[in-house]
Structure 1
Amino acid sequence: MKTFITDDFLLQNEFSKKLYHGYAADVPIIDYHNHLPPNEISENRVFENITQVWLAGDHYKWRAMRALGINEKYITGDASDKDKFLKWAETVPYTVRNPLYHWTHLELQRYFDIDSLLSPKNAEEIYDRTAFMLQQTSHHTVGLLQEKKVEYLCTTDDPTNTLEHHKSISKKEISPKVFPTFRPDKAFAVEDTPSYVVYIAKLGTVVGSDIKNYDDLLAALVQRIDYFHEIGGRLADHGLEQMYYVEKDDFNSDTLFKKVMDKNNLSAEEVYFFKAKILLFLSREYHRRGWTQQFHLGPIRNNNKRLLASLGPDTGFDSMGDLHQAKTMSGFLNELDSTNELTKTILYNLNPSDNEVFATMAGNFNDGSIKGKVQFGSAWWFLDQKDGMEKQINTLSNMGLLSCFVGMLTDSRSFLSFTRHEYFRRILCNLIGKDVANGELPADEKWLGKIVGDICYHNAKDYFGL
């Protein structure tokens, strides 16, 4: 059967179509948050087949396959790449109304010119066709990025990362430009004592000195921030259940650091305090360098302990949480703002019930110094689908200025995920077009087209100083 994805996919009226095709479709992509491996860009990796580029590491697909009753052998197990793809093809028809149904067929069409619906009937043919295309220069990693007009992308990197691949990419002067993002979560993950002790030893090796106390830790982090800055990094990111903030110094940070380094577990209160202090310190360092800080808030990770033990983390057993976010977020941002040390900040929410909380919190700390200084970030993770994007756009429109929004990102580990930007752009244009059709906005194509172009590209380019 032919695909349902036409040129006007998701565009429900003529004005929406004008906005998308005239102002959104062809502007370049700035993907300022993803988890792509920079070595595969530097080496211009050639994927042997579509399973390697499309299924490996994709939690969304893995969760769908498990829900359908597919054996783990065909998900993360030792089945052949072809057999894994065939099982995915078996799953796809059953993903109707899940965003995977849209994404799957959008990606097949945009990257491989396949305009039929994936099913067991055509799976082998599609597997062979895509395998052949992936051997062509146009479908090596760099070619895939260039095909989608990716101009800039920012990977997500631990402080201990040498960034050698970023340097290699820079020397080759290829497009897109690739920059690192500082992700220091492990530097304050003191809730896992054994892993933390190992990590601090690794960080000490990277900075060339033993980290014996709290001041040594801070100095090591500053050294790595400076190194990232030198390589071109201008963003930091943090993946947290919640923001951490304390008003009083109930503990001594150095004492806590030495306690955990002596392989003693910290109490829940001590863990919380330590994280709060490190985050404030880091945020002030970002401000000194004019960076943008991102906070991805709200997940509960590794819920299934049985499968975590056999498959490890980041294999599809995370979910949205229902933590209270407002008070600590307010305290944290206010602490920085009170000394004028609040840098550009993007707040990402994982629970849609908190959309208005995040959007209004961002508005509290926009001080007129920078356009959209504090942003209510794009729909993230479980929310980066049609309904989630529409809710995020509508909330931002109601509580702030949609026109200042820095737009979409992939947050992906796949080189075939850049159609996520197209998906967002179509949804954005359709919402604005519907308002025009309903008489809620003027039919000013030029002005609304400018707003769309800004959200899709220009705002991000200005905001991140690219």
Structure 2
Amino acid sequence: MSERLTLHPDRLLPVDPGVREIARRLYAEVADLPVISPHGHVPPAWLAQDLPFRDPASLLITPDHYVTRLMHASGVDLADLGVGRGELSEEDSRRAFRLLCEHWPIYRGTPMRLWLEQQLVEVFGVDVVPSAGTADAIYDMVADWIGRESSRPRALMDAFDIEFLATTDDPCDDLEHHRTLAEDPSFPRRVVPTLRPDKYLEPASATWVQDVDRLGEVAGQDTGMYAGWVAAMEERRAFFRQRGAVSTDHSHRDLGTEPLADGEAERLYAQARAGRITADDGDRLRRHMVHETFRMAADDGLTMTLHPAVYRNHHPGTLEAFGADVGADIPVSVEVTRALQPALSRFGTAAGLTVVVFTLDETIFSRELAPLAGFYPSVRIGVPWWFIDAPESIKRFRQAVTETAGYTRTSGFIDDTRAFLSIPARHDMARRMDCGFIAGQVAEHRLTEDEGMQIARYLVTDQPKEVFGL
């Protein structure tokens, strides 16, 4: 007989019985609140066209690089998991699903195990532990679920109670899927775009000239000169705002924001247009462009999210074979205080600016991020995301930042996922961990339980609405 798969009602709550009892009461206050997801990567076409999911592997495995990368580390070829292959045959999908089930033990102790278990139990009704022997039976249950009308993306927005969902979009996108959703009276949920301009701010990249030419074409601006680039970026920001955008998203190697003199910016821009800019000068111009983006954000009110310091596509062979965003991005250390000072000295107290600074470098939580957010009204600390949206990291984060910045200077949880069905599981994990931390402060009589209830609700609903201007 196969081992039964169940979800313990107290999972992730504190071990101490007294603190756990408080955490249970706090969690009950927030467990059923709507999901607000202000940063993620769900394709808007799924919702605009209400596309049915194709197969179990494409639903649960292929889009989730957290899941695929750990199997890759265990010797599984990404191609066998459907990565980079487009639509899978039934045979290939079943094979990928068997690989997941056969490798189930590698997820012990990871947040992926928590997310996958919650999806299997609560979404599909699976009650057996994944293994080589149960893989086909679980696959059939998931495939049967996919075939139901109630399993389409729009129905799931209601079933998961996702009140707000932001996607991530190229500045040149026409955002027609978002227009379709916004104009559909039968779809009351709010889905908005997020402007992601990274590749247009990297003048030393091989494709920058053609990228900027395309930006100018779409924006109706001449991007042959730096002033035209500024005008084009401003136009696209305005267009995204018209389509409902509330934020922009930025990920560069560092957080540098040093401005250049006007003549120097024009000179380096011309060099980049001619394909003669050096890597160092490309970084200088990029930092100037980021500084200019702070100015735009202060003017138009779009929340600016920063998540720097990732070594993108660390393994060239994987990039060549499968493309980007398949799990080969690796964190590196980052410096914040000096890097952001030029922009914050100019815009840090501007009434219209909100900047959310994320990091994968936990060493800067208490040393840099908490003090910055504890002084500048424009700065919020991005909660753990990506590699560190995990139970112990969330606990370390709250311990590191709360004594300096309190609860009000953080961002609200960010699920940052392409794996649509994992959204409620990820938010549930964050709610449980935050309630556990708050319960500890209540048990230490640093907070009253009524204050704990208020904080728990604030972190789930009011804070993300506040930070992203909802």
TM-score, L = length of structure 2: 0.92
Deviates more, 1:205-214 or 1:153-162: 205-214
Aligned equivalents of 1:463 and 1:111: distance in 2? 30
Aligned equivalents of 1:342 and 1:394: distance in 2? 30
Question: What displacement does 1:250 show?
Answer: 9.4
Amino acid at match of 1:44: D
1:48 aligns with 2:59: no
Structure 2: runs of 5 or more not aligned:
15-19
Which of these residues, 135, 139, 145, is aligned with residue 157 of structure 2? 145
Question: What displacement does 1:385 show?
Answer: 0.5
Question: What displacement does 1:461 show?
Answer: 2.0
Structure 1: runs of 5 or more not aligned:
367-372
1:158 aligns with 2:170: yes
Does the 8 Å contact 2:84/2:322 carry over to 1?
Answer: no
1:455 aligns with 2:468: no
Aligned equivalents of 1:244 and 1:333: distance in 2? 11
Which of these residues, 249, 252, 257, is aligned with residue 261 of structure 2? 249
Does the 8 Å contact 1:50/1:127 carry over to 2?
Answer: yes
Query: What's 1:185 paired with?
Result: 198
Question: What displacement does 1:104 show?
Answer: 1.2
Amino acid at match of 2:145: M
Aligned equivalents of 1:220 and 1:188: distance in 2? 12
State how 1:22-41 maps to structure 2 within 5 Å: 23-41=29-47
TM-score, L = length of structure 1: 0.92
Question: What displacement does 1:177 show?
Answer: 0.3
Question: What displacement does 1:323 show?
Answer: 3.2
Query: What's 1:2 paired with?
Result: 4
User: 3-state SS of the aligned residue for 1:309?
Assistant: helix
Which of these residues, 335, 340, 353, is aligned with residue 343 of structure 1? 353
Aligned equivalents of 2:259 and 2:213: distance in 1? 31
User: 3-state SS of the aligned residue for 2:126?
Assistant: coil
Aligned equivalents of 2:467 and 2:213: distance in 1? 36
CA displacement 1:85-143 (0-9 Å, x = unmatched)? 11111112221112211121012122212233222221111111111111212211112
Q: 1:283 to 1:77 in 2, by over 3 A?
A: closer
Amino acid at match of 2:306: F
Q: 1:72 to 1:207 in 2, by over 3 A?
A: same
Aligned equivalents of 1:222 and 1:388: distance in 2? 37
Query: What's 2:148 paired with?
Result: 136
Question: What displacement does 1:48 show?
Answer: 2.4
Aligned equivalents of 1:203 and 1:293: distance in 2? 20
Question: What displacement does 1:228 show?
Answer: 0.8
Query: What's 1:424 paired with?
Result: 430
Query: What's 1:121 paired with?
Result: 133
Q: How many matched pairs?
A: 454
Deviates more, 1:393-402 or 1:324-333: 324-333
Query: What's 1:292 paired with?
Result: 303
Query: What's 2:68 paired with?
Result: 62
Instruction: Name segments (4+ residues, structure 1) moved above 6 Å.
Output: none
1:71 aligns with 2:77: yes
State how 1:11-410 maps to structure 2 within 5 Å: 11-12=13-14, 13-21=20-28, 23-75=29-81, 76=83, 80-173=92-185, 174-193=187-206, 195-246=207-258, 249=261, 252-264=264-276, 266-337=277-348, 340=350, 343-356=353-366, 357-366=368-377, 373-410=378-415
Q: 1:365 to 1:403 in 2, by over 3 A?
A: closer
Deviates more, 1:237-246 or 1:304-313: 304-313
